[in-house]
Structure 1
C-alpha cells in the first residue's frame, strides 16, 4: 500500500494556502488529510506539486509573492482594524493617497517604524505596515502608491481597492412599543393564489407579505430566488442555482408587466392560452411542475417582449442595463446559449466565454440576449413592488431573502466567472452521523486569491442585487464565508478537506452592503460551527439562527431564556417536516420509507417519542398546554414558548400555520423524494391558497398568539 502521508514541505505549502492538513471529525477523531487530497486542492489553485522540487519552489513563491507587490491585491478592513502592507525596493521611498468613493482624495501618511526586509529575486525589499485610519468613511475606495528612488522620479506605481466596512450593524428595527420583531417563513414557489401560474410568484410574494404584515409580522423570509436554468429540466432546489447574482424569471407574473395592457386582443389571447393549463393546477396539492410553468410563462413572455416600450419605459430599461453592466450581458448570453444548444451537442469552445465561437454567438443571438436582459429588468421591478407592499403593510423589515451557499457547476456563474472558481473541485460537508460518507453539493468553491484580486466585486454585486429591494438577508451555511469543505473530483466527500477564507473581508463586504441598504443580516450557523465564529458574527451585529428542536441542554431542552440574544429563533426549519409532521413522527416514517435509517425503526420511534414527551412536559410545566391538547394547540404553544427567549427576531413557519405535514426537503435524497416541489396544503392534504389565508382559522390563530405574546 502506498503511503499517503503528506511530507512536512507539502503540509507547510498547504497551510500557507489556507488548506487544512488535519481537522477534528464529527465523531471526535483527529484526521490527517492525505497527501493526494492536499495535492489535488493545490493543483486546483494553480500550484504545481508534481515533485519535491516543485513543492519547494511553490513554497518559496507563496512566501515571496506578497513582497513582489508594491500593494496587496485589495484590503477590506474596519476603521483602524488592519494594516496596509506596502513593499518598497531598497533605496526608495513611497507616497500613498486614497481616492475616496465620493471623488475626493486623502493622503495616507507613512509613520516612522522599524521596517522589516527580505531579499526577493536577489534584491532587498522593505515591508512597511501602514495603519488603516480610524476616521476613514465607510465605502469602496482606492489606495494609490508611488515609489521613487531617494531624490529621483517615480519608477513604479500601483493601486488597489481599499474597502472600509462598518464595525457593527445596528439591531433589527421594531414596531413602536416592541423590543423585537417576528415574521413569517415560507417557500415562495409553494404559495399559490388563484391568479398564479401553477406556482407562487413575485405577485404572490407581495400579497403574502401584505397578509402577514396585517397580522403584525415584521418580515417575510422566503427561499432563494436566484435564477435557475432557462431550459428543461429546471433544477428544483433553490439552493443550487445557475447564478446568485440575478433573479429567477420563473417567478415573474406575466400579467403584471405594464406592456400587457397594450397588447392586442389576439396577443392577449396568447398570454391567456399559455396560462390556462398551468393555472388549472393551482389547487392541486401533489406537486409543483417547474418545467410546465416555465414553458407556459416563456410563451407568454415571448409575446409580451415584442410589445414596444414607451420612451419612459425604454429609459428605465436602459438605466437598468447601464447599472448592471457586463455581468448582465454575460448572464443573458448564457441563457441564450442554453436555449441555442438545448438538446444538442455543445462544442468545448462554447464553454469558454472568451472563445471566438462565443463572441460570434453573442452577435448571432442578440435578440435572445435582449430578451433575457429584459426579463431581469421585469423581475427586478416586480421584486421592488413586493418589498413596497411589505413595507406598506406595516412591516419594519419587509422581505428577507435567502443566499444560497454556491452555484451549480454547469451554471452561469461558473461559466462567466470561471476564473473565480476552483476547477475540478466541489463543495460539500464531511461525514457525520446522518451522512457517513459525507455530502457533495455539486457547487464549485470560490478561489480566495481571485476574489481578492477582483476587490471582492463579485461578492459585492451579488449582495447588492439581493438587498436592493429587501430589508434582510439570510445567509445559508454562513460558516462558508470562513471555511468550506473542498472535494477533489473523483474522490468521495469523506476525502475532502477544509479551505479557509479571509472572513474579515467576506463578512466586511456583506456588512458594508447591508449598512448601505439599511438591512439586517442573519447567518445560518447550525451544526458544526466553532463557538468563536458565533461570537464574531454577534460582535459584527449579524444574527445567528436557532431551531427549537435542536436546542438541547443536558438530557432535555434548553430553556428559551438561555438562547442567545443575537438570533433568529424558530421552531423548525425547511430541512425538517413541519411541526405537525414532526409531532406525528413523519421525520422517522419518511426516512424509513426511503431507506435512510441507519438504526431500527423501533429505536428511532422510541427516541422520537421520548423527545416529544420531554417537549410536551416542558410546555405543561410552563402553563402553555393543558392535559389534553390538540395538534393546533401544541404548535401554538411551541411558537409561544420561543417568545420567552431574548432573541432579537422570531420566525413562524407558514406550513405550521396551516397544519401541513409534508417536508419541503429531505436531506440525503435526490430523485427519491420531491424535494422543493411540495405545494402548500393543510393536514388533510387539501391545497391552501393565498387568497384564503387572511381568514384561515389556524393561520390567524397562530399568528395572533405569537403577536400577543411579544
Structure 2
C-alpha cells in the first residue's frame, strides 16, 4: 500500500496517528503513506495491504469486547465514570471497589439496565455500563468484577480536577523568583570537575539569601555507568533514576570509616578529577572514572545497623524497577552499554539468564543499588536544607521528554517503548529542518495496558525530593512527533496520547508531593492545550523573546497581558545566555552549522529587528537608558519580567555570570559541544561558585527580580 486510502486513514486515526497537520508557518501538510505505515508498524499494526488494514480495524473494534474490564480507567474527582463490563450473555456478575487505603465498597449493578450485545468469536457477549460513584477519594483504587468462579481486576485512578498553588504563590499579585541552573556546569573548588549536589545546595542557599524561593535544575537522570557518558541530560538511560556523577563523595557518611591510607586514595582521586576544572569543556568520562573508583572504596566500608536498615528499606520501596536498573548497570560493565548487541538471552530482563547473572554478580548489582540510595539521601538533604533556609519550594526537578534507545529504561520497560521510530520535532522558526532526538516514545496502547505504572513510577521518583517539577516538552503528554527510522525529521507525524490520563496522573502525584508543576509549552502548540493545562493548575513557560500577539499583528505583548500562571524567563537552555543572545551569537552558530534555510544576512537582519524592538520597548518604559551596555540590558530585560503578573520568574545562573556561550544547539550532536560548556564569565574564562557569590553584578541582577528589595 503506497497511498493514503480512506481505510488506512481511518485506521491511523483510530490509533491516534495524524495523517495531516499544519506547520509552524500555518501551511497544511499531508503525511505520506510511507510514514503512516511505518508508525503503525511501530504500534504493532500491520497495514501493508487493504486487507491487512481492514483486519486491523476489526481487531481494534473487538479488543474491548474480549476482556471483562478495560486495562485501566483514569478519572477526575467528583465525576462518576461508567465502566464497561463485558461478560458472556446472561451471566450475572458482582462488582466491588477496593480503595487504596484498604476499605471496600460494593458497586451496585442496575438490574434494569439493558446491555448491548454482539457476537464475538462465535459467542454472544454483553456490555454493561457500571456506575462506580462520584464520591471517590483521590488515589489508585481497584475495581473487581466477579462472574462465576472468575474475577477480573482493573486499576481505577481518581485524579485532581486541578492542583492548587502553594501558599507562597496563592495570594493575589504574589510573585516569586529562583535560579535556573545546569548543575554539571555550575562548579565549585570542591567539585570533582563537575557540579554536584553539594554545589546545588550552596547555590540555593546563596539565592535564598537574596530572596529566592526555588532552584530549577536540569534533569539529573541517570547516564551510562561506563564511558562514554552521554553529555545531554535530556538523553538519559533512565528517567526514574539519578546519575551518580552528581554525588558529593565527601558527604557520604561511610567516609568516616575509611582508614588513613584509604582517605589518601580518596584525596588522590579528588585531585585527579579537579584537574578538569581548568579545561574548556566538561570531561564527564574522566570525572566519572575518578568518582567511581572512590565510591567503590566507600561502598566496601562497614555500615551501621541504622544505615543498613535504611538501605534495605530503600531497595524494598523501589522494588523491581531499581533491581532492573542496577542489573542493567552491572551488565554494562561486562557487555557494554549497547544492550541490543548483548547475547540474545540477556536482552530480556525477565530471562533466566539475567537472573543467573544477577546472582553471580550480586555485589556489583548491590553497588549500583547503593549508588541510588546515596543519591536519594543527598537529594533529600539538599531539599531539607533549602527549605530550612526559607525557600518555599526548594528544588524544582526537570523531567526529560524521553530516554536513550540503548539505555536502562529501553531495556527494562520492553514494548512499553515503541521500536523503529524516534521522537523529535517538526520544523519551526528556530530549527527549520526539524529535530530528531533519537529517543523511543511511549506506546500509548502499552501504557494503558500497564495501567500507566511505568509513567507513574517515573513521575513519583522525580517529585520525591522536590518542591516542583518542570516537564520538558509537556506537549508530549498530548502528542509526540514520531519519526520512522531512516527518515528525515520533517517526514514524521504526530501520535496522540490520552492526555487526560497522562496529565491526571501527573497532577495526582504532584498533589501528594505538595509540588508545583511547570510545563514547557513552547514550540508548535495547539491553542486549546494551554487553556487545558492552565485549567488544571499547570504553569506554562513564557520566554520574553517569544511573548507576542501571535493571533493579532505579532507585536510585543505588554507586560500586563502576560499570563499569570507561568514561569517567566528571559532565556532558556536552547538559546544562548541573554548576553550572548543580545549579540546574536546563536544566529552565527546556526549559520556555521548549516541550520538555516535563509541567508545569514537575512537571518541577522530579522533577529536584529526583533531584539531592537524589545530594547526599544524597554527604553519606552523607562527600564533602559540609551547607550546601556550589555549587562545593563540584561538587567532591564529581567526588570521587565517583574512587571508581568507571572507567578514565577527564573534567572539563569549563566546570566548571573554574564556568560555568552550557547549551552545547547538543538538539531546538532557532535557538531557542537552541547551540554559540555562550563559556567564562564563575560570574557569566556571559567567561573566557580565561590567567585560568583562575591560578584556585585550577580547580586545586582538578583535584586532586580526580588520584589522584597
Task: Calculate the TM-score normalised by the size of structure 2.
Answer: 0.95
- Provide the residue aligned with 1:462 in structure 2: 458
- Provide the residue aligned with 2:12 in structure 1: 14
Report the Cα offset of residue 434 of structure 1.
4.3
- 300, 310, 329: which one aligns with 1:306: 300
Segment of structure 1 superposing worse, 421-430 or 542-551: 421-430
- Provide the residue aligned with 1:530 in structure 2: 526
CA distance in 1, matches of 2:546, 2:20: 28
CA distance in 2, matches of 1:279, 1:646: 43
2:210 matches 1:215: yes
- Provide the residue aligned with 2:580 in structure 1: 581
Does the residue aligned with 1:695 lie in a helix, a strand or coil?
Answer: coil
- Provide the residue aligned with 1:237 in structure 2: 232
2:474 matches 1:474: no
- Provide the residue aligned with 1:180 in structure 2: 175
Segment of structure 1 superposing worse, 555-564 or 320-329: 555-564
- Provide the residue aligned with 2:645 in structure 1: 646
- Provide the residue aligned with 1:318 in structure 2: 312
- Provide the residue aligned with 1:372 in structure 2: 368
Does the residue aligned with 1:353 lie in a helix, a strand or coil?
Answer: coil
CA distance in 2, matches of 1:314, 1:271: 23
Q: Is the 8 A contact 1:222 1:402 kept in 2?
A: yes
Question: Where in structure 2 are the equivalents of 1:60-99 lying within 5 Å?
Answer: 60-81=58-79, 82-99=81-98
CA distance in 1, matches of 2:621, 2:547: 17
Cα–Cα, structure 1 residues 123 and 520, in superposed 2: closer, same or farther, change >3 Å?
Answer: same
Question: Where in structure 2 are the equivalents of 1:384-399 lying within 5 Å?
Answer: 384-399=380-395
- 357, 379, 386: which one aligns with 2:353: 357
Question: Where in structure 2 are the equivalents of 1:123-202 lying within 5 Å?
Answer: 123-147=123-147, 154-174=148-168, 179-202=174-197
- 201, 205, 220: which one aligns with 2:200: 205
The Cα offsets for residues 88-137 of structure 1, whole Å up to 9 and x where unpaired, read as 33212332111011110012223454543332223333323334522101
CA distance in 2, matches of 1:343, 1:117: 52
Report the Cα offset of residue 80 of structure 1.
4.0
For structure 1, the residue ranges without an aligned partner over 5 or more in a row are: 148-153
Cα–Cα, structure 1 residues 116 and 102, in superposed 2: closer, same or farther, change >3 Å?
Answer: same
- Provide the residue aligned with 1:540 in structure 2: 536
Q: Is the 8 A contact 1:97 1:108 kept in 2?
A: yes
Report the Cα offset of residue 557 of structure 1.
1.5
Report the Cα offset of residue 7 of structure 1.
2.2
Q: Is the 8 A contact 2:434 2:667 kept in 1?
A: no
For structure 2, the residue ranges without an aligned partner over 5 or more in a row are: none
Report the Cα offset of residue 436 of structure 1.
4.5
CA distance in 2, matches of 1:506, 1:708: 35
CA distance in 1, matches of 2:30, 2:598: 29
Q: Is the 8 A contact 1:205 1:386 kept in 2?
A: yes
- Provide the residue aligned with 2:563 in structure 1: 564
- Provide the residue aligned with 1:151 in structure 2: none
The Cα offsets for residues 32-56 of structure 1, whole Å up to 9 and x where unpaired, read as 3222222222222222334333322
CA distance in 1, matches of 2:155, 2:606: 54
- Provide the residue aligned with 1:45 in structure 2: 43
Count of aligned pairs between the two proteins: 701
The Cα offsets for residues 50-91 of structure 1, whole Å up to 9 and x where unpaired, read as 433332222111001111221100111112444322223321
The Cα offsets for residues 473-496 of structure 1, whole Å up to 9 and x where unpaired, read as 000011111111112222222222
CA distance in 2, matches of 1:66, 1:41: 22
Report the Cα offset of residue 374 of structure 1.
0.4
Q: Is the 8 A contact 2:656 2:701 kept in 1?
A: yes
Question: Where in structure 2 are the equivalents of 1:250-289 lying within 5 Å?
Answer: 250-282=245-277, 284=278, 286-289=280-283
The Cα offsets for residues 338-370 of structure 1, whole Å up to 9 and x where unpaired, read as 111249973233322233432332222211101
CA distance in 2, matches of 1:626, 1:357: 70
Q: Is the 8 A contact 1:80 1:132 kept in 2?
A: no
Task: Calculate the TM-score normalised by the size of structure 1.
Answer: 0.95
